[in-house]
Amino acid sequence: MVRRDVVLGVEIAERFAYHGVSANLISYLTGPLGESTAGAAAAINAWSGVATMLPLLMACVADAWLGRYRTIVLASLLFVVSMGMLTVSALPAFHHDGCSSYASRSLACSPSPVQVAVFYVSLYLVALAEAGHKPCAQAFGADQFDQNDPKESVSRSSFFNWWYFGMCSGTAVTTMVSSYIQDNVSWGLGFGIPCLVMVFALLMFLLGTRNYRYYTATESSPFARLARAFVALVKGSKSSEYDGTLASDDAGHREEVKGVLRLFPIWATCIIYAVIFSQSSTFFTKQAATLDRRIGPALRVPPAALQTFISVTIMVFIPVYDRAFVPPGAAAHAPVVRHHHAAADRHGARPGPGRHGRGGAGGDAAARRGEGRRARGPAQGGAADEPVVDGAAEFFYDQVPDALRSLGLAFFLSIFGVGHLFSSFIISAIHGATKKSGASWFSNNLNHAHLDYFYWLLAGLCAVELAAFVIVSRVYVYKKRVSHNNNDAVM
């Protein structure tokens, strides 16, 4: 299906651009910008939290006013502008005299105030662009399937798997290529290449405009409808105020509100997983910097490139899952109800082992001298991520009202937003409490740090969350599907 492939290609480019910034950001903050390890980790988690919380707002704008197509176009344009600004902020002209060398890692070479200001403004514009692009692109791609067609209905579940495969391929390439250029050539070029990739992706997306399938909204403002239903739900049913038709409609809308509210317990029991997930681009990368990363006499692998193991592991597991688990699930259920049962099976069964696998990071830090264990950590994390993320994405997409699917995916992404923000809070609080004793858990010198304590804390929280998730998933009631046509409409 050409429509689907074009949207998937745009997502791969967007992942290349976004992770071209985020994957090695800890090195830029602790290097050219001269921040401490704890301060940089907290700043990155705060930024990542904003980038994954803003989709809630942007999804509302897309579903109620702009539409998914227009939101993707505007977000892509903002991506190009913000990445361009980020590239400019890394140019030698913004550095003090004597600090223009990109190889310089001296904290004495402090950045100019203008450089810091332009950098952070452009960084948060990238977050805003990510917020508009992320939920709408995935929902728009899924809209290219007719859920009432048996073949396309089954294909949509595979689409979520292959969507995640595409995301990971874009991430894997950029963590290898961009991080190497940033560490060994220049930060300006390392930020500029993702910008050019995003320009090309936007042009490709615009070329397919006439061929896309656009979702037909049944009402002009689904959020207004949900708001009215929520008020009615809080006040209680007062059927005497309505005629029979309105009472019936409001009853249906109240059921939709209840369906959205039922997602909150599932959402809440994924937060600690997101906290653990957030460590890959901060402390995992700083740990990688302590390894012997030489390949031969000349090549030295950049620390951020070890994150590639996460993406590659996921890419290996996705085809196995797609062939071994999705077809049996598709055959077991009728097309009209197939998706919510599949999401139930996948989200109910798969996140538990995934989170438990992530929780094992404590052992890695306890043996800091075991480089083999450190190298295996990202691969183990990737094996845990694959069965969680794509299943959860389909679950939240499927369980919200059809007109709010961008919001459903944004709601899923907000798990990671809250997780990143909570991680930033935990790191700042622990650093403030432990540095008073002269032995911060997050010392700039990792040989004096206690990341093992931090990872064991996360493992304990993860175990508690896993137990809560099992309880919540057993009592969850799934959405009743109503058949409707998904024809072309306005953008």
**1-5, 100-104, 190-194, 472-476: range with lowest mean pLDDT:** 100-104
At residue 265, the pLDDT reads 92
Average confidence (pLDDT) over 106-130: 83
Task: State yes or no: pLDDT of 108 exceeds 70.
Answer: no
pLDDT of 326 higher than 50? yes
- Residue written as tokens 């995934």? 354
Q: For position 478, what pLDDT does the model report?
A: 78
Q: Which of 9-13, 140-144, 282-286, 316-320 has the lowest mean pLDDT?
A: 316-320
Q: How far apart are CA 179 and CA 25, in angstroms?
A: 9
Q: Is the pLDDT of residue 345 over 50?
A: no
Between residues 338 and 403, which one has the greater pLDDT? 403
How confident is the model over 49-72, as a mean pLDDT? 85
Considering only residues 468 and 237, tell me which one the structure prediction assigns the higher pLDDT. Answer: 468
Q: Which residue has the higher pLDDT, 375 or 250?
A: 250
CATH (one of 3.20.20.150, 1.10.3720.10, 3.60.15.10, 1.20.1250.20) for 2-475:
1.20.1250.20
The residue-averaged pLDDT of 136-155 equals 76
Q: What is the mean pLDDT of residues 174-184?
A: 88
As a whole number, mean pLDDT of residues 345-363 equals: 40
Quick one: 255 exposed, middle or buried, by C-beta within 10 A (0-12, 13-18, 19+)?
middle
What percent of the chain stands above pLDDT 90? 20
Q: Is the pLDDT of residue 331 over 50?
A: no
pTM of the entire structure? 0.71
Residue predicted with more confidence, 344 or 209: 209
Is a pLDDT exceeding 50 seen at residue 360?
A: no
pLDDT in tens, 203-260: 999 988 888 877 655 554 555 556 655 666 566 544 444 444 445 555 656 666 777 7
Kindly tell me the sign of the dihedral angle through the C-alpha atoms of 352, 353, 357, 362: positive
Residue whose tokens read 């009592």:
475
Q: Please give the mean pLDDT across all residues of the chain.
A: 75
